[in-house]
Every structure is written in structure tokens, then in C-alpha cells.
A and B are shown apart, each in its own frame.
Chain A
């Protein structure tokens, strides 16, 4: 069984500086979104439990060919990539079409894993869109997976409860960040990552027109500005009163 993990190349957020409410990306190395790494770790644990092959899929700029070494070092067996410098800041529907075409090239797929949202825009759309394109079942907010022959038992972490569902394979699962702790690769795994197999496609091979009219253009994805109230208190009693008034605590 092949376990496919979709991962998105993003700048290393730990090294991004903010100037005038805009990220400064010059010289920042590329990596994958943190929840994507949880999805990869899930795939690696499933492989360790039941065997199979872990395949990373991704679409991005030429730099991705280097970035994918991080996933291959962590334990993925091979990678299917679409590389094109036009693939910067592409909208979710385009990503979904590109990745769906990559998935079609892979045989014997059991599970397709996504992080619940990407590390940059966190739209959370690509997984469900791909399920729709490929006509596969999709389960979101996954916090636990148990393999059962041709099905999986999946626990979903909902706001105030957990839901357990069974789903036939192949299926698309989108993973919560707290499902696991991604492993750290060893030095040898890092050095051997570049030698693992990679299938590289160009956008032309897939037949998409990236330069055509874009349906959605993201203008901004900033968090709303929070104005601090800056309430001054003189003692603990006043602090408690202020917290009660603001609804932070209740009697």
C-alpha cells in the first residue's frame, strides 16, 4: 500500500522577520508547514505498523527539489513533485488540481494525508478539494488512525467531543497538529535524502494554464489587529474586578 502525504513548501516561519506588518523573506530557508510534518510522521508510523511505501507529493518553485530533502530525510521513500517558478502563491484550487494529477500517477494508494491547514495561509481547502476531484471519501480533524484491513478507524477531534468513524480505503484524511511529534532525522538520513527517487513533472505535463485568469487572488492574510485595553490596576482586588468585568474569569 502506498501512503501519500501532501506537503506545502513555505518559508521557515521561525526565521521570518516582520517589517511594517509584512514578512521579510529574503534569505529565509524554505521548509514544510509544521502540520504537514505531523501528516508525514503519521504516514511513517502507519508504514512502521503495517508496511508500505510513503510518497510525498508537492507543487512549488524550483527550490522545492531541495526542500523535499527534509521530508525524504525524515523517512519518506520517494517524492512526486511539480516544479515551476510560476507556482508561487498559487490559490488552493490550482494546488488541488496539480496535486490530484500527481496522485493519479501513483498506483495502489491506500491513504492520502494532509495537514489540517498549510503553514502559511491555512485555508484547509486542498485536501477536501482533492477528495472531490478524485471521488474519494474525506475525513477531517483526524487525531488518531487505526488500520483495519481495507478500512481505517479514525478519531476526529471536534470542539467538545471526539467522533469515531470507519472509512473505506482509499481515503483522504486531514490531520490535526497534536496527533504526534515529528521525528528529527539523523545525519546519515539527511545525507542520503538527496539520493532517494524523485519523479518530477512540469506544469505543462499536467496541462494547466497558470497564466490564465486567476479566480481568486489573495490580497492579504494578516491577523486582525488587537488593540490592547491597557487597564491599570493598583492591587489584586482591582485585578480580579477588571478580569470579571472583561469576562476573562467568572465567579
Chain B
């Protein structure tokens, strides 16, 4: 069993790290304050092909696999969680088009969403549904060779960027959910004010309103009435991105605390060298980060090698729960190392707390994902 990364994986990780150090770290605080990521960052990430790491070369991707994707997301999230959120959600859209799209849909939507100039959204959640697909209230009605979409979606990441959006809506005649691809900002598409979430700033979140949005028949994604399959695949690939993302925020918190323990002195001696409870905190964070790292990397490896969607969904759900919850634990310990300073927004660790605390609740809460995984385990 060889757990070493290949040279190519190492270099993709390094490319993401070098870009993050050079271009993101200097403006990360500003992104957090303004809740806005400059467009040049997306274009530069597009030039490096960071939006398309695991996707087929034929559609503009890097075809480097999901382990490489996780390695890159980890490095980018370590510098700025919001940027990693944008890429992760964009990848959800790309994943479902790649899995279910027609050749025409793939050629139309995939290359443009790997450049950083167009960015995917995925719209499932609604004000009344949470994660329950049976309560969908967004509807489509067949009208000639088109569908007419009406309803609202809640907490939709990237909805304010130009690009396509995958929408899950219920057919008013059959009562079955189908998936559609629409162009954002088409006629009848509008947005709420941006939600002011606790962390991962720069990854914008909106409610979306559809008012008689006309969708051509050719924009059905997958087979009509099988939208929940699209949702399942979206859940899998969303969790892969988020596992890399919260691994990155965990590492950022750990490294921040480590640096503080070496730099902060008490009566002339660094607190990391002087106090055993600081040393135990460092060990706890190292131990937890290592467990997260291998867990997330294993998920990338699994996504590259396992084809069974149930097995992959189980692994993705459990890994996301473990990594995101452990990231909160790591960040809490890291704040403890900072003492009272950890509570001050002037310190980076306070920003990281906002980034990690959202983890166990986004894209499926931990309890929901555990129940989902348990159902698969019990059914095996």
C-alpha cells in the first residue's frame, strides 16, 4: 500500500498553494470584510485550470482526478474558504452535467465553466423543503416544446455570477422531480439580497426567484422525472469538494495556532515551549488534522476508483461529516491556544471560526448525512 502522492498530484497541490500564497493570502482579509472576491482571481484560477481539475480533457478539464481536486481545494480553502466554496459548487454543476448531460449540453456548459468567467450554481433547497425532495414546490409546466418554471429556491451559492444553473423542480402533471439547466439572468430570473452568512465570505449566497422562466425541452438534464438521481450525484460530488474545503480550514486553524504558540511569549519563553496544556493542544490538533487528511484523501482516491454510486455516497457523506465536525474541534482548540486574543476579530483565528462553524450544517447537516449513510450501510 503506497500512500505517497504522485509527482503530478504533488505539483497540482503546489500550484494551488503557490497561487494561494501569492494571490489570495494578501487579500483574504479584504475578501472576508467585503464579502466579495475580485474577478481577476477567478480568471487567474481559470488559467491554472483549477475549476476543471477532475473533468474530461475533451470538455476543457484537466482530467487529473478527484484526489488532485481535493489537494487543490485544501490549499485554496486554507487561504480563503469563500473561493473554495465557489469552486466546489461550480464543480457540483460540472459533475452532474458530466454524468447526465447530452453531448450538446456538455459542449455548451462545461468548457465555459472551467475558465472562471462563467460559474455554475445548483438549485435544490427551497424555503419550505430543507433537504426533503418530497416537499419540492418549484414547478415546471409543459407548454409546447418548452417548460415553464415557477417558484423560489433558497441559499443558492454562486447565483449572482453569470453562468448556468441546474434546477430541480417538480413536473406539475406527473408530480415527479426533474432536473433542468438554465442560464442565470434569463427572463424571469431574479435574486434576493445576498445572505449575510457567518463565514466563507466571498462565496455568495442568494435566494432565487423564477417567474415564468421558459426552459427549452433540450435543457432537461438526464431523463425527465429522474431529477432525484441528479440530486444524488450532486450530493456525492458536493461532499467531495466540501471535505477538501473543511480540511483546508482545519489546517489553517492548526497552523495559525502553531505559529502563535511559537511566537507568543510568557516571561520570555514561547507558550508552546513553556506550557504543557498548549503542547497537548498542539498534539490534539495535529492528531485530528492527520485523521481528517487521510480521510479526505481516501475519499478522493475512492471517487477516482469506485463506480458504485451508493458506496461513493456513503463515503462522501461520512467523510464530509467527519472532516467538517473535526475542523470545528480543531478550530476551537486553536482559539484556546490564542487565549483571549482568539476572541478578537483582529486575529485571523476569529475569521477561521466563522469558516469552520458552517461546515456541519451546509449541504446536508451532519445528522441527515449520518442517517443517509446508515441507510446505505444497513441496506448492503
A interface residues with partner B (beta carbon < 8 Å): 29, 31, 66-67, 69-70, 73, 181, 184-188, 190-191, 193-194
Contacts and interface: CB of A to CB of B under 8 A. Distances in A.
Contacts of B8: 69, 190-191, 193-194
Contact of A69 (B11, B52, B57, B68): B11
18 contacts: A66-B7, A69-B7, A69-B11, A70-B14, A73-B11, A184-B22, A184-B48, A185-B11, A186-B15, A186-B49, A186-B62, A187-B49, A187-B53, A187-B68, A188-B49, A190-B11, A190-B64, A193-B8
Given A184-B18, A185-B15, A191 B7 contact: no
Interface residues of B, number: 21
B217 interface: no
Given A187-B68, A188-B57, A191-B64, A29 B50 contact: no
B19 interface: yes
Contacts of A186: 15, 47-49, 62
Interface in B35-62: 47-50, 52-53, 57, 62
A243 B156 CA distance: 57
A29 B12 contact: no
B63 interface: yes
User: Which of A69, A73, A191: most chain B CB closer than 10 A?
Assistant: A191
Nearest to A14: B17
Given A70-B11, A187-B48, A187-B62, 12 more contacts: A69-B11, A70-B7, A73-B11, A184-B18, A184-B22, A184-B48, A187-B12, A187-B50, A187-B68, A188-B49, A190-B11, A191-B62
Nearest to A66: B7
A193 B10 CA distance: 13
Contact of A184 (B19, B52, B57): B19
A185 B64 CA distance: 14
Interface in B61-87: 62-64, 68
Chain B facing A: main interface SS = helix
Nearest to A31: B14
Nearest to B46: A186
Nearest to B52: A187
A48 to B, nearest CB: 15
Contacts of B11: 69-70, 73, 185, 190, 193
B64 A187 contact: yes
A67 to B, nearest CB: 8
Interface of B: 7-8, 10-12, 14-15, 18-19, 22, 47-50, 52-53, 57, 62-64, 68
A194 B47 CA distance: 20
Given A29-B10, A69-B8, A184-B48, A190 B15 contact: yes
A32 to B, nearest CB: 12
A70 B64 CA distance: 16
User: Which of B11, B14, B22, B57: most chain A CB closer than 10 A?
Assistant: B11
A221 to B, nearest CB: 25
A191 B52 CA distance: 13
Top 3 A-B residue pairs of the complex, sorted by shortest distance between their CB atoms: A187-B62, A187-B49, A66-B7
Contacts of B47: 186
A188 B64 CA distance: 8
A182 to B, nearest CB: 9
Nearest to A182: B18
A187 B15 contact: yes
B283 to A, nearest CB: 16
Contacts of B15: 184-187, 190
Contacts of A185: 11, 15, 48
A7 to B, nearest CB: 15
Contacts of A69: 7-8, 11
A36 B11 CA distance: 17
A113 B52 CA distance: 34
A190 B12 contact: yes
B5 to A, nearest CB: 8
Nearest to A181: B22
Contacts of B53: 187
A69 B5 CA distance: 14
A96 to B, nearest CB: 27
Contacts of A190: 8, 11-12, 15, 64
Contacts of A188: 49, 57, 62
A99 B50 CA distance: 36
User: Which of A67, A70, A184, A193: most chain B CB closer than 10 A?
Assistant: A184
A181 B19 CA distance: 12
A194 B8 CA distance: 9
A40 to B, nearest CB: 14
Contacts of B68: 187
Nearest to B17: A14
Contacts of B64: 187, 190-191
A79 to B, nearest CB: 14
Nearest to A12: B14
B317 to A, nearest CB: 27
B63 A191 contact: yes
Contacts of B57: 188
A188 B63 CA distance: 8
